[in-house]
Amino acid sequence: MAGTQQFSSATLTASASASYRLPLIRNFPQRSTFLGNPNNKPLPLTATCAVSTTQDAQFTENNTRRSANYQPNLWNFEFLQSVENDLQVERLEERARKLEEEVRGLMKKVEIEPLSLLELMDNVERLGLTYKFEDDIKSALNNRIVPLLHHHTINKYGLHATALSFRFLRQHAFHVSPDVFESFKEEGKFKKEISGDVLGLLNLYEASYLGFEGETILDEARAFSATHLKNLLQTNQVQNKVVAEKVRHALELPYHRRVHRLEARWFIERYEQKEAHDGALLELAKLDFNMVQSVMKKELQELSRWWREIGLTSKLDFVRDRLMEVYFWALGMAPHPQLTECRKAVTKMFGLVTIIDDVYDVYGTLDELQLFTDAVDRWDVNAVETLPDYMKLCYLALYNSVNDTAYSTLREKGDNSLPHLAKSWSDLCKAFLQEAKWSNNKIIPPFDAYIRNASVSSSGGALLAPCYFSVTQDITSQAIDSITNYHGIVRSSCAIFRLCNDLATSAAELERGETTNSITSYMTENGTTEEEARESLGKLIDQEWKKMNRDVVLESAYPNAFKEIAINMARVSHCTYQYGDGLGRPDDTAENRIKLSLIDPIPIN
């Protein structure tokens, strides 16, 4: 990247220097949040920037500037610091270890039938316990399930078992052909005799979402299973209430596209309602959920102190204050408890993305945005002197936070990530600037040009880059090049992120004068209605998922842990924007998701 400094510990620890450390929050008046009056305007704020300037920085409302009128933060600092976290973790961990071995013993039983083994593994996964049994699941798939497919004998256990085995093998990066479903077809169509098999159809539907491009049999499977599942629900032929709820849940959004941590909370309640459930497995799931939630509460409290210290949301009244929402996003990307550093990095990067995105979208003039983009491209602390006062705060917060993240990687793993993290931000700001130019000049770009830029402006690259360094043992130049150039799974995940965002936020963006999003670009280029454009973008999302599914199985540049994080970013995109803008304008549904995942433990009798 042009202008990137040579990596050194001095560069990385600039945030520890008194010369460049942003003032602590005590120097910043707080704006109203949570219990405050959302209609109250912040008072004019005055602060001295840590980097010397000719005058104190004044941040007052300017009537010529736009405002997005974001709602106040729902989760203030005092609330987050007061969240109870009094689990007796050591005692719970001892009990959990015993239960874990009990469940592992069930999985390893030689006499267990293939269908029972598949159902056990499915329950383990949906209950949020995959990370504990990853090796056991892969061993069972290799030793028990793969031979059945190779010898074409899995089909004798029925559609339910065949679809479960296919989904599991694809999820765990086994190269399995969808031809396993040919035996359930005749004369080119799926057999009518399976149209009443609720569990078989449900698992066929779920399996169809693991398809690659060109696998038409899985497209047919999705259409067939969805049609008959809807019919079974409409005609009240699904007598079991728990099964009926699972079917509705899957039709709304399949498991493969759901945030697995949130899904675990949902499934634990349904699994408990099931008459024939395994008591040890259920108890383990509840204990584990609460213990992992305890870890995340501590992380969240630490991050809320960081957020308060950098003070951007108290100084800039036009930006979103969304720490809790961006931490939920980080949790969606990296749900396993051992990924603490990854979650912290994503939270910090995404928190800064929301601030800087608002600078580009809402507040900054084109001249100011060009200065900021150039400063980020230089990645030199002295570039702060070229910026207007409100941008100085943004730039130093970004510079310090990225350098701190890179320093942590260097300290823990010895890997030099700074040039690559800095480049991800340079690329992001250039993409933000391009969108600002389009919007200011009322230009609706060609759809392909928009999508190329939008995959970068989604900010996914800036979130995934630190994750790669956090979870990868053997860093390769091939993988780094693929990430920084948005190839393969990275491009697909970022494209899904942007398209989900556009489908949820386009109306609000148009209201505040922005003309550039995928819907308007597609409508203008193709002469379609908004409804037709939305349908086409939904199909494009499906195409990107098929590309990602293929890359999970066949792409060798990335380790599996990173592939999972990239897929999880697409999943949390669906979750956040499923019912609206869960990041910019969180509603009761978004608030409840956060409570279930991060605040309220599961009651244990």
DSSP letter string, 416-453: --HHHHHHHHHHHHHHHHHHHHHHHTT----HHHHHHH
pLDDT of residue 43: 27
Ordered by start, the domain boundaries in the chain are 94-287, 311-599
pLDDT at 70 exceeding the cut of 80? no
Read off the pTM: 0.86
Pairwise CA distance, residues 303 & 306, whole Å: 5
pLDDT of residue 83: 73
The mean pLDDT value for 570-578 works out to 96
Write out the two tokens for 121: 């593994």
By mean pLDDT, which of 44-58, 383-397, 426-440, 517-531 is the weakest? 44-58
Cβ atoms of residues 163 and 115 within 8 Å: no
pLDDT of residue 546: 98
Cβ atoms of residues 317 and 61 within 8 Å: yes
pLDDT of residue 24: 29
| Closest among 259, 345, 358 to 317, alpha carbons compared | 358
pLDDT at 14 exceeding the cut of 90? no
CATH superfamily of 94-287: Terpene synthase, N-terminal domain (1.50.10.130)
Pairwise CA distance, residues 599 & 588, whole Å: 15
Pairwise CA distance, residues 165 & 180, whole Å: 10
**Mean pLDDT rounded to a whole number for the chain:** 86
pLDDT of residue 152: 82
The yes/no answer on whether domain 311-599 falls in CATH 3.40.50.10680 is no
pLDDT at 432 exceeding the cut of 60? yes
Q: Note the pLDDT tens digit of each residue in 179-227.
A: 999 999 999 999 999 999 999 999 999 999 999 999 999 999 999 999 9
Q: Note the pLDDT tens digit of each residue in 232-263.
A: 999 999 989 999 999 999 999 999 999 999 99
The mean pLDDT value for 120-125 works out to 96
pLDDT at 443 exceeding the cut of 50? yes
pLDDT at 2 exceeding the cut of 90? no
How does residue 29 score in pLDDT terms, banded at 50, 70 and 90? very low
358 vs 586, which has greater pLDDT? 358
Q: Note the pLDDT tens digit of each residue in 454-495.
A: 999 999 999 999 999 999 999 999 999 999 999 999 999 999
pLDDT of residue 596: 94
**What's the angle, vertex CA 132, arms to CA 129 and CA 136, rounded to 5?**
105
